[in-house]
Structure 1
Amino acid sequence: MEGIENYSLEVKLSADKLEAEIVLKVDEEDLDNIVLREEDVYSALQTNQVKVGILDDVVRDLCAFPRKFANARITIARGVAPVDGTDAFIEYPYLANVSNEGGPKELEDGRVDYYNITSIPNVAKGQLLARKIPATPGTPGTAVTGEPIAPKAGKEIHIKPGKNVVHNQERTLVYAAIDGQVSFTEQDKLNVFPVYDVNGDVDFGVGNIDFVGTVVIRGNVLNGFRVKASGDIRVLGSVEGAELYAGGSIEIKSGIVAQDKGMIVAGHDIRTSFIQNANVSAGNEVIVSQSIMFSNVRAGKQIICNGPKGIIIGGVLQAGEKIAARVFGNNRATPTILEVGVKPELRQELANIQKDLQNVYENLRKTDQGLGVINQILHTGKELTPEKRLMQIKLTNTRLVLEKECKQLEARKKDLENELKGETPAAVEAYHVMYPGIKMTFGKLVHFVKHEYARTRFIVLDGEISTATLI
């Protein structure tokens, strides 16, 4: 019996045109008699613009065994996927001689020492601090139609030179302009600052400190004193109810016991062993090895409390990306507030704008009342006295100013509310247990913890706060 040609070939391309599939469509009763020629397959591919990456062995098999492949999708051509470029990154050669010795050391009392002052490198004038490794453009791919597929270029990054550093003309290398210590300040600016060394406590014998550089305190900072540094602040002892302000990072080896006094503010990171009854704010991260107790803690990115104890109880903690601890709360359901998903300053700005708007609305109401009284006089046909006419001009101008301010505030309020929707990746992670009594906020989403959770990550999925088990 002669073969029949009662069939059709259907070719489909993937959305990215990196793959083509073919379907041999034939009725069941005709399967045994079908004759499929290779030139027919190549013709069907050509009709559908498939020119590159054709799998010749698949074509041969399809024609040799059409019954085997009938009415099924098979891949007939594969293009070449583009290779995305690599992101630019920054190397810090000055760190090459810093010994980590396997990471932080655990002390005899169980605490973890993150804060050995000798681990902070001194640099010399002219020393290379940073080197930018540029992004790569990637390698183009080829679609099965022969069209080039552009790769995704690597993301650029820029070294941000701060104080006492110099860079080359291409801004790819940064060198120290003075002897000192490296400090990263807000927005990851790279600086070198001179060092002011206090060989003891900050007390009445030393007084308040305001230094354009890095401050090293080899004792404690006592109640009521203030230390301000444009670079880093490093305290080998403890900090009581004092004020510490650093443009860079703050490291406190023996913890913070503030008795609800003072303020600890860093443009970059804050690292310490414990925080108790304190107000703490970092532009980047707050890293605590033991505990955070009844404190207000804010971090632009993360709050991490994951030492051997790693417990957070009470207070308000706000972080842009993540709050993580070994234990949250206690079995007495002590109220603890966790807010993640946006930078804390945005939430504070929104609260301030809402207050400002209330004042503007109230002032508009009073202005309209005054203009209403003047309009009533005009409706009676009476002329305004010079005083009333002056008042009308002032009230009209005031209203124009208030309307403009109102529009600006409402526009900013809308922008902030969009950022507070919890759409940015954010998480709360309990590595051991989370007790009831926790109020968790992701943007506008709120979750009250009413039972214990063990080893749990809280995230936002599909507009709801969801949980996942930590391995």
Structure 2
Amino acid sequence: MYSSRGPYMDVQEIDLINELNIYTGLDSFSEDALEKELAQCKGLGANVEKLRSLGFNALQLAEIRKGLESDKVDVNKYLDSSLSWTDMEEMRLEMVQGIDMSEYRAKGFDNQQLYQIRTGISDGVDVSVYAKKIYLADQMRELRRGLSPKDGVPIIFFQDPAFDSLQMREIRRGLQVGIDISTYAMLDIPHMKMRAARLSAQDGLVFTEAEIRKYTASILEQMHQAHLDNVNISSYVKRLFDAEQLEQIRLALKKELPIDNYMTADMRGEAIKEIRLGLEEGVDVGKYADVAYNWKQMHEMRLGLEHQIDITPYCKPLYQADQMRELRLGIEAGLDISKFSSMMYTAKDMYRIRNKILSGELQSTVSEDSLEGSVFDRTGGVSDQTILLSSMLENRDQYLYVSEDKMKCWIMLPVRRDGISYTEDAIMTFLFKTKIRSGIDRKSIKQALLNPEPKEKYLIAQGKEVIDGADGHFEYFFDYEKNNEVKVLEDGSIDFSDVENIQQVKVGDKLAVYHKATKGIDGFTVYGELVKAKNGKEVPILKGDGFMIMSDRVTYVAKYAGAISVEEGNVYIKKVMILPEVKITDKKIDYDGVVFIRGDVHAGSEIRATGDIIIGGHMESSDIESKCNVIIAGGATCPTKGSIVAGGDVTAKFFDGVTIKGHNISSNYFINCKIEAKGMLKTFGRQGVIYGGTAYSLEGIESAEIGNVSGARTTITLGANTALLAEYSNLQKQISREAENLKNLIIQRDKLQELGSGNPQIMQLKIKVNAAIAIKQQAIKNLADKKQKLDSDVEKGEKAMAVVTEQIFAGTIIIIEGLALKITEDRKTIDKIVFRTDPKKEKILVF
């Protein structure tokens, strides 16, 4: 998008522009978008071959198409591929609105400035106030909004062009909400400080001008957050703790953790964070809360304590954090870390040795004096025994047999023709010469010599099998596997019979006891080789909320009464409100925890909760909102109005006439509902059905039946819907606009560079433009990060499909990725019917 790089661009800016080309150069738009725009232009009478030959991209073609659709636009005025799509858009909108911008264009205003002037004229604003070259486009925008007839404010407070656009915005917003902006509306106060002061004042904490000037924006933000959290950090502010430190102190005080007992003023914020996290998890932070350690070292020691290992071997300040990590991983794996714990080893060396031990490549040999049944050379120069031994050694394979795993050794004693008898000393010496060193059974040798059978093998040595240590494990005193979930019966339908058995705990209830790992017992082979046993591994401490670890470091108890659940391996105790039923005469329920209603929720009720909402009975025409899951055993009926909104999953026996929003949504059947699922939409069992109403699912739908025999209109929409695609498209356009603005700013910056630095006014302009460039770069990065998150949803939508396992009825409409298919006749299946789009997204395929 930006090809003129100019002599003053640094490497970072070039990289940024290259990255922007990925987002805004329409690499991110598919070839399909280009062809669709060409097809639409052709339908409006355009010469498609000419458009194709001129090399327009999809966004440029979109502007040409919009121009062709309007009888007020002459597209020939901007039918130039060298114009950006934003240039085209500006020219098109000028013609649509009948606004002559030639005067301003002649004065050399850039595209973004023209946009602000034209928008102001359209809104009935006196643009002469800001239609000046001294203002950048973003400054114009703030002045235009300040002059707005609807939300206008006295712009005299931020009209000075020396203010950057973000300073202007903070002053304008402060005026709009009616706070006293005099404490921060000054040129030398950065916008971040202005923002912190404004937001704080809106929440009732007003900073003086002296405080705003004295403290950084980050410290002001921490003071504001402390005010909201109802904690006092003023003494720490006075002691000159920085913002990172204050954030960790604030979070610790909020949870009433004894952070003062362990931290010191010379610890960095990250170090205090490691202490805070350790206190939250209940580990002995005293073992690492020392300024001798940096935060990375503290991190490794905290992780070791959380994994319940003995961290003493690596609690030495001279170890680097990456060395500590290798030692920690070695201890967690039950290895003998003495082989690589020397400080002479780098972390890479430690990594290499640790992995050699893990793979068995590096082993130790047992010292001979530590083995049971060791043997030594006993020939003593006896002539007949020397002859016997020499013969046995020459034909050793006829005498000695060792198992493949080297753990057993047998001997055979063939008949000798020379009259020499086998003796115990000869056999012991033979074993010594053949390196059989351990596990020798002298009794077996003596027994074999009493009456040897020439073809019989005698087991005369055995190694010692290793005994691996047992891993640490938790013994739970609640049903760890149960998570207040509904059950699916054999026929596929949902069983809610157990929904009332929500797991509850009381204050002080024992939740779990940790049983520590045991050490392994080493073994050895008959050759005296050490077979290293594996020590049991400790497992991390329990994480979550609502419980604490007792002083024995193995017992976990509930801190307060509530509902206990396990989510992604973490244990949570949430306060629970239990009600027999909810009626319209009851006041609105707004609860920080789990709400459990044993009976019915009657029409007209309102329930909101931060935890799950579980209804043991039936819900009728009510509004329910949960930040977690919603489970309704008796089903939900909303003949007039009623809605369910959940941050998690929504499940009920049935839904009738309900508006439902959630992640995964499931039921036995849905009748005339309005459904919006950000995950999957499912029905259960061979009787599961969706008919009537509308159902949207980002990831797909599975149901036995869709529609019904009466032909009730049922619309199923899958994949990225219009709202998501519009958000995605607008985000891409927003990135493109910001990139265009950045390009103009860089051009202005380069021109100012050529003018030199002697003029104070020029210097001021340089500062302003450079600040605007930095702000714009950050804005583009933030938008790009947001786009990445949307990419994931769009990708999921591209794979969406509808699966019908029994029957789909005529009258059903299936829309996938904007493509529609109307079912004109009933269709049954003995297996399943699958609806999805073809790879080119041109039609819906049916399998």
- Calculate the TM-score normalised by the size of structure 2: 0.32
Instruction: Say whether 1:336 aligns with 2:716.
Output: yes
1:296 corresponds to which of 669, 675, 687: 675
Counterpart in the other structure of 2:206? none
Identity of aligned residues (%): 14
Equivalent position of 2:787 in the other structure: 413
In the alignment, residue 164 of structure 1 is paired with which amino acid? Answer: G
Q: State which structure, 1 or 2, has the greater radius of gyration over its C-alpha atoms.
A: 2
1:245–1:233 distance in 2 versus 1, CA, 3 Å: same
Say whether the 8 Å CA contact 1:90–1:130 is kept in structure 2.
yes
Is the CA contact (8 Å cut-off) linking 2:629 and 2:646 kept in structure 1? no
Gaps of 5+ in 1: 1-51, 53-87, 134-155
* Structure 2 counterpart of 1:306, from 684, 691, 696: 684
Q: Which residue of 1 aligns with 2:803?
A: 429
Letter in 2 for 1:200: E
Query: Following superposition of structure 1 onto structure 2, how do residues 72-87 of structure 1 map, counting pairs within 5 Å?
Result: none
Confirm or deny that 1:440 pairs with 2:816.
yes
Name the counterpart of 2:564: 182
Cα gap change, 1:374 to 1:440, in 2 (>3 Å): closer
| 1:365 to 1:204, Cα distance in 2 relative to 1, 3 A | farther
The amino acid of 1:329's aligned partner reads: G
**Aligned residue number for residue 591 of structure 2:** 210
Counterpart Cα distance in 2 of 1:378 and 1:178 = 65
Q: Does structure 2 retain, via aligned residues, the 8 Å contact 1:183–1:231?
A: no
* 1:32-76 C-alpha deviation (Å, 9 max, x unpaired): xxxxxxxxxxxxxxxxxxxx9xxxxxxxxxxxxxxxxxxxxxxxx
Q: Please, which of 697, 709, 713 is the counterpart of residue 318 of structure 1?
A: 697
| Distance (whole Å) between structure 2 residues aligned to residue 226 and residue 409 of structure 1 | 35
State whether structure 2 residue 734 is matched by structure 1 residue 359.
yes
Return closer, same or farther for 1:238/1:406 CA change in 2, 3 Å cut-off: same
Deviations along 1:394-418, one digit per CA (max 9) or x if unpaired, are 3443233223432453465357536
Task: Tell me the distance in 2 between the aligned counterparts of 1:299 and 1:93.
Answer: 36
Q: 1:250 aligns with which of 631, 637, 657?
A: 631
Q: Could you say what secondary structure the match of 2:600 adopts?
A: coil
Report the CA distance between 1:210 and its aligned residue. 1.8
Kept in 2: contact 1:259–1:277 (CA 8 A) = no
- Distance between the aligned counterparts of 1:449 and 1:386, measured in 2? 70
Q: Which residue of 1 aligns with 2:545?
A: 163
Instruction: Determine the C-alpha separation between the residues in 1 that align with 2:662 and 2:752.
Output: 56
In structure 2, what residue type is equivalent to 1:362?
R
CA shift for structure 1 position 236: 2.2
1:230 equivalenced with 2:608 (yes/no): no
Look up the SS of the partner of 1:119 in the other structure.
coil
Q: Tell me the TM-score normalized by structure 1.
A: 0.53
Farther-moved stretch of structure 1 (307-316 vs 272-281): 307-316
Q: Which has the higher contact order (CA 8 A, sep 6+)?
A: 1
Q: Distance in 1 between matches of 2:638 and 2:703?
A: 20
**2:544/2:572 contact within 8 Å kept:** yes
Change (3 A) 1:356 1:416: closer
Could you tell me whether the CA contact under 8 Å between 2:695 and 2:715 is conserved in 1? no
After TM superposition, give the deviation of residue 437 of structure 1 in Å: 0.9
Alignment of 1:52-91 (within 5 A): none
Which is richer in strand?
1
Cα distance in structure 1, aligned partners of 2:556 and 2:649: 20
The residue type equivalent to 1:250 in the other structure is: I
Deviations 1:200-237 (A, max 9, x none): 32434322322334432633154472421434433523
Distance in 2 between the 1:449 and 1:172 partners? 62
- Indicate conservation of the 8 Å contact 1:220/1:235, yes or no: no
CA distance in 1, matches of 2:595, 2:552: 29
* Aligned residues of 1:197 and 1:215 also touching (Cα < 8 A): yes
Structure 1 residues 353 and 93 mapped into 2: Cα distance closer, same or farther (>3 Å)? Answer: farther
Does the C-alpha gap of structure 1 residues 114 and 363 become closer, same or farther in structure 2, counting only changes over 3 Å?
same
Give distance in 2, aligned partners of 1:339 and 1:124: 45
Q: CA deviation at 1:317?
A: 2.6
Amino acid in structure 1 at the alignment position of 2:719? E
Q: Is the 8 A contact 2:749 2:769 kept in 1?
A: no
- Between the aligned partners of 1:419 and 1:112, the Cα distance in structure 2 is 29
Q: Match for 1:118: what amino acid?
A: E
CA separation in 2, counterparts of 1:362 and 1:338?
30
Q: Does 1:286 align with 2:661?
A: no
SS of match in other structure, 2:601: coil
Question: Counterpart in 2 of 1:265?
Answer: 646
1:245 Cα offset (Å) = 1.3
Q: Which residue of 1 aligns with 2:502?
A: 120
CA contact (8 A) 2:813 2:820 kept: no
In structure 2, C-alpha distance between the alignment counterparts of 1:278 and 1:97, rounded to whole Å: 31
Listed as ranges, the matches of 1:37-56 within 5 Å are none
Counterparts of 1:417 and 1:373, CA distance in 2: 34
Aligned length: 344
* Greater fraction of residues in helix: 2
Alpha-carbon offset, residue 422 of structure 1: 4.9
Give the superposition deviation at 1:274: 0.9
Contact 2:487 2:494 in 1 (8 A): no
- For 1:172 and 1:269, locate their aligned partners in 2 and report how far apart those are by CA, in whole Å: 37
Is contact 2:622-2:641 (8 Å) kept?
Answer: yes
Matching residue's letter, 2:703: A
Look up the equivalent residue of 2:666 and give its one-letter code: I
| Counterparts in 2 of 1:241 and 1:125: CA distance versus 1, 3 Å | closer
Q: Distance in 2 between matches of 1:159 and 1:433?
A: 50
